[in-house]
Chains A and B, each alone.
Chain A
């Protein structure tokens, strides 16, 4: 079983829509959780960390559900510039990180 599983999409949504991605993880001892954004032909960049109590950064909300072993990312009021691939990242112990394969989002005018 993979450490991290993501729906690859693609998600095609109109501007202004709300879209949510989930990501499941297999190791209940996982300690750190992140969402990364990757633009076409660019490197992944940290979008936000995911905290146990959930956290928000502007239009973006990240949540962690330890009981069901998943994290989520909610984007409200989608903008054209949100079009990218979103990668979930899980860390168990130490510095080793496990990446999901990414969910592709296209925001349509």
Chain B
């Protein structure tokens, strides 16, 4: 298994542009989590899905952020329009198994200028 795969690894965009981050979770696991990490706030849970259904999106900062999981093997996090304060590393993660925590993707480093 290739683990959790995220793309792109790096994204630099101008303020106001739409940004789409992608995640392919570990197959066979039915939960997926999107996190954002900044120096100031650490790792923040944005949203998580169970069986492709959003369970808790209370961490999504505002309406500019949206996430989808159309099937068990793919999820997107979209920011429209992007702002400089959205600059962060965005991780997706799936549970490794009961009692074994998460496996993270390598993250997308987003810079909005």
Which residues of A are interface residues toward B (Cβ below 8 A)?
32, 34, 36, 41-46, 49, 87, 89, 95-102
Contact = CB atoms under 8 A, between A and B. Distances in A.
Given A42-B106, A43-B104, A89-B101, A95 B95 contact: yes
**Which of the four size classes fits the interface of chain B?**
20 to 34
Given A34-B101, A45-B104, A101-B42, A96 B91 contact: no
A44 B42 contact: no
Contacts of B109: 41
B42 A99 contact: yes
B101 A96 contact: no
Contact of A95 (B48, B103, B104): B48
A24 to B, nearest CB: 15
A43 B101 contact: no
